[in-house]
Structure 1
Amino acid sequence: MNALSSEREVPFRRLALVSNQAFSLCNFRSDFIREVVSRGVQVYAFAPDYESETRSRVEALGAIPVSFALSRASMNPARELLIVLKLMRKFSELNVDAVFSFFIKPVIYGGIAAWLAGIPLRYSMIEGAGYVYSGGGRDSILRFFLRHIVTRAIRLSLGFSRRVFLLNQDDFNLFITPKMARSGKVVVLPGIGVDLDYFSLSPAVQAPITFVLVARLLKEKGVYDFVAAARLVRSRNKFVRFLIVGGIDQHPSAVPYAEIRQWVDEGLIQWPGHVADVKSWVENASVFVLPSYYREGLPRSTQEAMSLGKPIITTDWIGCRETVMDGVNGFLVPVRDPTSLAAAMFRFIERPALINSMGAASRCLAEQRYDVSVINSTVLSAL
C-alpha cells in the first residue's frame, strides 16, 4: 500500500487515454488527467495531432504525450487495421494496464487494440454518436452505409469494455437497445464537467446584443441555420452582432472557407476562426446559440456557456435539449428552422432583461449538474 489513502486508490498504475485530438485532451480532459496523476498513476495521453504547444500543455498536466496515426475521415480498411495493430503494439511497449478511450473512432480502435494486447481494464466514453448517426431525419446513402459499419464496430468494441460512459438517454437507448453494450456496465453522466471556478459567472451583455455560436464548422452543427437567422434578424435590426467561433474542419460536411469568408466580407458575422480559449469570446456575448442537428453527447461548449451565465438557444435535439429548460434558461427551437431560431433571438432583443435572468438560471443549472470535480469523482468511482 502506498501513501495514498484507500479511498483514493484506482485499479491501475499505468493508464492510456486515447483521443482523436490533442486539443481535446488539453481543454476537456485536463481536470481528469490532473486528478488521476494525483493518485499516483502514470498517464499516457494518445492523440494524432500533437504540436509543440499541445505537447507542452499535456506535459504540464503530468501526462506523457504519445502520438499515433488517426484520420477522422479515412475509410481505407487496410490503413485502419494497421492503426489498430500499431496501437496494440504501443500499449504493450508501454506496459499499460488500463485504456480509456473517448469519441467514436478512438473507442473502436482503442478498445479492440487493448483487447488484442491483453490489457485487462478497458473503458470507453462516447460523447455523442457523431456524424454517421446525425442528419436530423435526412440520411444520405453514404451515411446509411457508414452507420451500418460503425454500428457493428461499436458493438464489437464496447463488448470488450469493462465500463461504458454515455452523456444522454438517447445514446443509452441507441447503444443498449440493439445490445451494443450490456446495460449493467453503462453509466450515464450529466456531462463531462466544467471547472466552475474558471468558468465563473460573468456580467450580462446587453449592448450590443451579441449572439455567439461556438462549434466545429460543420453543416450539422447548424452553421447555415445560424447565418440564415442572422440575416432575418439584421434585416430588422442592424445593431445586433453575430459571432461564429471555430476553425475550418477536414470533414465530409465541413462548411467551405469561401462561404465563411463571404459572410464575413458582407458584414453579416464576425469570425475569429479557431481560438485556443473560447472563454473570453463567450463572456463578451449576450446569448449562446447552438442550432445543432449533429448527434451530440452533451455539448461541452454549452456547458461552459451556462457556467459563464449565458442564456442558451439550442435545438430540441439529441444531446442539446438536455441543456435547456425551455423558458427558464433559454429556448428550444426545431432543427433546421432558421425562422424559429430568429424568433427566439428576437425575444432577447425585445426583452433584454431576459439576458440577465435566464443567464442566472443557466449558471444555477451548471452548478447543479456540471461541476467537474463531482463528475470526475463519479467516473473514478465507476472505474
Structure 2
Amino acid sequence: MKRIVVIVSEPTSLASTRGHLLLALRDSGYEVHAMAPVDAMTIRWLAENGVHFHPLPMERAGIAPLGDTVLAFRLHNRLRKLKPQVVLTCAIKPIVYGMPAALLAGIRRRHALVTGLGYAFTDRHKSPRWRMVNAVARLLYAASLRVATTVTFQNDDDRNDFRRLGLLGRTQANVVNGSGVDLDRFKVAPLPDQPRFLMIARLLRDKGLAEYLGAATLVRALRPDARFHLVGDMDPNPSGFPLSEVEEAVAGGAIRYHGPVEDVRHIIADTRIFVLPSYREGTSRSVLEAMAMGRPVITTDAPGCRAPIVPGVNGLLVPVGATTSLAEAMIRLIDNPDEAVSMGKNSRSIAEQRYDIQKVTADMMGIIEGGDRAAG
C-alpha cells in the first residue's frame, strides 16, 4: 500500500483545512499518516476517518534552537520508521525541518506547501527583531526548499518573492487557489439589511486588527447604525495583538468580540460585509468562506489578500495600514446597498469558479501524484 505522511504545526488544520485532501488521499489508496501537536478533537476526527495520528510536540511560532533541534531528530526518526513513499509538509516549521528529515530518511517524493509567510516576511516597520527573524527564515527556507521535490504556494506573489530571493533553487514551484472552500457546507445566505461588518482572524497585528478597530470607531461616529464583529483566538506569534486593546474597543462600543468560534457559518450569515485588512496572507480561508456565503469583501491590496478580489466586482481593496481608507470603503458599501448585494452575488460566483475545494484538492492530488495539473 502507498503511504503518505502529512506534517502540520496547527493540529486543528488537519480536519478544518486539510481534511478534504486527507480523505481524497485515503480514497485513492494511500495509507495516510498525520503528524502534529496533540489536539483531542482532531485526533478523534482522524481516527473516525481512517487516518493514523503521530503526536509531534512543536511550537508553531518562534525560534527555539534546542526544541527545534529535538523536533528535527524526532521527524527523521519517525519518517525512517514509517518509510512512506511521500511526505507533505505544511507551514514553516514542518517545511524547514521536515524536508531535510525526509531527504535523510530516503523518501523520494517530498512536497512542501507554503500556506502563508507570516511574521517573518510581513513586519511593516522592519524592527531589529524582525530583521533577525527574516534572515533566519530565509536561510532555513533556502536550505529546505532546495531539497524538496515540489513547492506549492497559495498565491503568485509568494512564489514570485521566493524566486526573487533565490530560495527555490531548481525546485518545481506550483500555485493552487488557496485551500479551497466547501461550497456545500458554506451555502449562500441572504444579506441582512443592517450594516453589520465581520472580521475573522487570529489576534495578530499583521491581520490589520488595529486598523479594523480604528475604522470601526470612525464609521460608527458617522453611521451609528453600523455594527462591527470580531471572531478569533489569541496567538503566541511575535506580532500578537493585546487582548486588552480588544476589550477596550468592546467597552467603548466599537465592536463585539466573540472569541474563537468553531463553526463560523451562523456569524457570517448574520453579517453583511466581510473585512480582512491583513498585511499578507497565503489565501485567507475566512475570506473564501465569506465569499461562498455571498458576502462582499473589503481587504487589502496585499499578497494573498487581493487574489480572490476583483475590485468593484466582488469587493474593495484598500492600502495596507490605511485606517481612513478602510473606513471610507465601509461607508461606501453602507451608502450603496445595491452595490453590496451585487458584490455578494459575484463573490459566490468567483468562489464556485476558482475556489471550489473539489478543484483545489484535485490540483493538490495532481502535484502529490507527480502530475503537472497545477504546475506554473
**For the superposition of Structure 1 and Structure 2, which TM-score range results when normalised by the shorter chain?**
over 0.9
Match of 2:110 in 1: 122
1:250 aligns with 2:236: yes
Contact 2:89 2:95 in 1 (8 A): yes
Out of 179, 184, 199, the residue aligned to residue 197 of structure 1 is 184
Q: Aligned partners of 1:52, 1:381: CA distance in 2, in Å?
A: 31
Aligned to 2:51: 63
Give the alignment partner of residue 339 of structure 1, picking from 324, 328, 339: 324
Establish whether residue 93 from structure 1 lines up as the match of residue 81 from structure 2.
yes
Q: SS at the partner of 1:119?
A: coil
Matched, 1:149 2:149: no
Distance 2:94 2:341 in 1: 40
Q: CA deviation at 1:33?
A: 0.7
Shift of 1:238: 2.1
Shift of 1:119: 1.4
TM-score by length of 2: 0.94
Is residue 154 of structure 2 the alignment partner of residue 170 of structure 1? no
- State the SS of the aligned residue for 2:5: strand
- Of 93, 100, 103, the match for 1:112: 100
Distance 2:170 2:77 in 1: 31
Unaligned 5+ segments in structure 2 are 369-376
Q: Provide the TM-score with structure 1 as the length reference.
A: 0.93
- Counterparts in 2 of 1:201 and 1:349: CA distance versus 1, 3 Å: same
Query: How far 1:62 sits from its partner (Å)?
Result: 2.2
- Corresponding position of 1:371: 356
Match of 2:97, SS state, is: helix
Structure-1 separation of matches of 2:170 and 2:364: 16
Change (3 A) 1:115 1:184: closer
Unaligned runs of 5+ in 1: 1-11
SS at match of 2:291: helix
Letter in 2 for 1:16: V
In the TM superposition, what is the alpha-carbon distance from 1:182 to its structure 2 partner? 4.2
- How far 1:16 sits from its partner (Å)? 0.8
Q: For residue 202 of structure 2, what is the aligned residue in structure 1? A: 216
Aligned-partner residue type, residue 131 of structure 2: F
Q: Deviations over 1:145-202 (max 9, x none)?
A: 1111111111111111111111112111111223322466111112221111111222
Q: Which residue of 2 aligns with 1:8?
A: none
Q: Secondary structure at the match of 2:133?
A: helix
Distance in 2 (alpha carbons) for counterparts of 1:70 and 1:316: 33
- In the alignment, does 2:42 pair up with 1:41? no
Distance (Å, rounded) in 1 between the aligned partners of 2:62 and 2:209:
24
CA positional deviation for 1:100: 0.2
Structure 1 residues 332 and 74, CA, compared in 2 at 3 Å: closer, same or farther?
closer
Compute the displacement of 1:267 (Å). Answer: 2.1
- State the distance in 2 between where 1:86 and 1:111 align: 13
Q: Is contact 2:295–2:345 with CA below 8 Å preserved after alignment?
A: yes
User: What does 1:287-298 align with in structure 2 at a 5 Å threshold?
Assistant: 287-293=273-279, 295-298=280-283
Separation in 1, partners of 2:103, 2:155: 26
SS at 1:323's partner residue? Answer: coil
Q: Does 1:226 align with 2:233?
A: no
> Is the CA contact 1:244–1:269 (under 8 Å) kept in the aligned structure 2?
yes
CA distance in 1, matches of 2:264, 2:298: 18
**Which among 242, 263, 273 is matched to residue 277 of structure 1?**
263
Residue 245 of structure 1 deviates from its aligned partner by 0.5
Inter-CA distance 183–285: structure 2 relative to 1 (3 Å threshold): farther
Q: Does the CA-based 8 Å contact 1:128-1:296 persist in structure 2?
A: yes
1:320 counterpart = 2:305: yes
Structure 1 runs of 4+ with >6 Å offset: none
Partner of 2:325: helix, strand, or coil? Answer: helix
**One-letter amino acid matched to 2:267:** W
1:124 partner SS = strand
- Change over 3 Å in CA distance of 1:191–1:74 after alignment to 2: closer
- Quick check: 1:176–1:183 contact (8 Å CA) kept in 2? no
Structure 2 CA distance, aligned partners of 1:69 and 1:149?
21
In angstroms, what is the RMSD of aligned CA positions?
Answer: 1.4
**In the alignment, what sits opposite 2:371?**
none
Does structure 1 conserve the Cα–Cα contact (< 8 Å) formed by 2:177 and 2:354? Answer: yes
Residues 1:18 and 2:7 are matched in the alignment: yes
Amino acid paired to 2:315: G
